[in-house]
Structure 1
């Protein structure tokens, strides 16, 4: 290995690590607020990439009907709750707005020449279709059992993941897809050629990380989510709705997942079942951060990306084993240093 190859591998590692860092932050955010390990996070990555590919290749974009079905189920649950607790005009109006939003998305997808519109419009439409699935997923599958033990929440999360993989196969088919790059420009840095898409991934990832930090530090809603993560019961006593916190964190996680898929779709071919491995590498970064520390998780996720890249050069057949083996020493270290006793709960 010479310096040029090392820089190329480092470029790939940092690019992948930036995506893993975003997913690690999403996993920690959702877990600290709701106690849910968001196993289906990877499906948002693949759905985002394959939806963009469907738009650009002129294929049938049936994913919008998933939004319509889930929005109808969400509205039905809200309507049932309103009937039980008494009708409120404001909440009834909100139900109508949600259904109208889903109908508008269906009309846009069915009528617009998606293959011909600008890429920025394709990205925006993809986010508008897929991001609402996050809070709807929480409303349908997790909100009714929000106070259940963590093991029950984990089992439900796994079940939702399996269901979404099946939905992905049904709607996108077994063939993978790769989208057009945001820019085809290249930059010469010494003896290494930097692709502009790589810079897009790194810069957008840094922007999202900084934006999340500022949102949690400076905004009222961000502080409410932080309070829920620190003390869920205390936050509830202060008037912070746990349902709102759950939906907000799932919406943020869905946005980050879909955005990550859109960013890496021009770099690698993604399939309907590719998301689990991608999110699992983000989970390794989250474990390095102890499912608590955002900075440690981000650093760990970048380290995972670098180790994966260099493993492809030295031992490509064992790169997945090498990456996932990283989790073992951190689990052992945290187990040895933890004073928590499960029976105390």
Structure 2
């Protein structure tokens, strides 16, 4: 291995590590606030990439019907709850807004010249279709079980993951897809050509991480989520709604997952079932952070990306084994240094 090959591998490792860091932060955010290990996070990645690819090819993404159907179920449950108690005008307006939003997206998808839209508009349309699926998923599958044991939440998360994989096969088919790169230019670093898409991935990842940090440190809603993550019962006593916190964290996870899929779609071909392995590598980074430390999770995710890239050069047939074996020493170390077991609230 010479310097040029090492630089190319480092470039790939840093790109993959940036995506894994975003997914690890999403996993940590959802877990600390809701106690849910979001196994279906990878499906948001593939849905984002494949929806973007369908839009660029001028095909109807079909995801709009899934969004409309789930929104109707969500609103039906809200109306049923309202019927059992006194009708709240504000909540009825929220139901109307959700139905109007989903119906508007269906109309836009079927009337706009999708392939001729600017790339920025295509990205916004993709995010608009996928991000609402996050809070709807929480409302339908996890909110009724919010106080259930962690094992029950994990089983439900796995069931939702399997359902979303089947839904992805139904919506997008078994064929893989790539999207157009954000730009075709490149930059020379000595004798190595840096792809512009790589820089896009790194810069956007850094921007999202910094934005999330500022939001949690400076905004009222961010502080409310932090309070829920630190002490759920105390947050409830202070008037912070656990339902609101759960929906916001799932919306952020859906946004980060779909944005990650859009970022990596020009680099690699993604299939309907590619998301699980991608999110699992983000989970390795989250494990390195102990499912509590955001900086350690980000550093661990970059390390996972680097190990994966260099493993492809030295032992490409064993790269997945090498990456996932990283969990073992950290689990052993944490089991040896942990001296207490937290009871369920």
The question of a shared fold, defined as TM-score above 0.5 by the shorter chain, is answered with yes
Query: Which residue does 2:96 correspond to in 1?
Result: 96
User: What corresponds to 2:245 in structure 1?
Assistant: 245
User: Is the counterpart of residue 176 in structure 1 residue 199 in structure 2?
Assistant: no
For residues 342 and 292 of structure 2, the distance between their equivalents in structure 1, rounded to whole angstroms, comes to 18
CA offset at residue 343 of structure 1?
7.2
Query: Equivalents in 2 of 1:342, 1:244: separation in Å?
Result: 25
Q: How does 1:255-266 map to 2 (within 5 A)?
A: 255-266=255-266
Counterpart contact for 2:149–2:344, Cα < 8 Å: no
Q: Deviation of residue 143 (structure 1)?
A: 0.3
Which whole-Å CA distance do the structure 2 matches of 1:200 and 1:92 have between them? 41
Normalised by the length of structure 1, the TM-score is 0.99
Aligned partner of 1:58 in structure 2 is: 58
Structure 1 residue 333 corresponds to structure 2 residue 299: no
Q: Distance in 2 between matches of 1:76 and 1:212?
A: 33
Shift of 1:344: 8.7
C-alpha separation in 1, matches of 2:161 and 2:343: 30
Residue 152 of structure 1: aligned partner: 152
Matches within 5 A, 1:99-114: 99-114=99-114
Name the counterpart of 2:132: 132
Range with greater deviation from structure 2 (32-41 or 77-86):
77-86
- Identify which range, 222-231 or 75-84, moves more after superposition: 75-84
Give the TM-score normalised by structure 2.
0.99
Give the secondary structure class of the aligned counterpart of 1:205. Answer: helix
Cα distance in 1, alignment partners of residues 266 and 103 from structure 2: 30
Deviation, 1:59, is: 2.4
The 3-state SS of whatever aligns with 1:340 is: coil
How many positions carry a matched residue from both structures?
345
What are the Cα deviations for residues 199-240 of structure 1, in whole angstroms up to 9, with x where unaligned? Answer: 000000000000000000000000000000000000000000
Q: Calculate the aligned-residue CA RMSD, in Å.
A: 1.0
Deviations 1:38-81 (A, max 9, x none): 00000000000000000011223111101001111110111111
Partner of 2:49: 49
1:15 matched to 2:15? The reply is: yes
**Match in the other structure for 1:121:** 121
Match of 1:220 in 2: 220
- Unaligned stretches of 5+ residues in structure 2: none
Superposed displacement of residue 341, structure 1: 3.4
C-alpha distance in 1 between matches for 2:152 and 2:208: 31
Q: Look up the match of 1:80.
A: 80
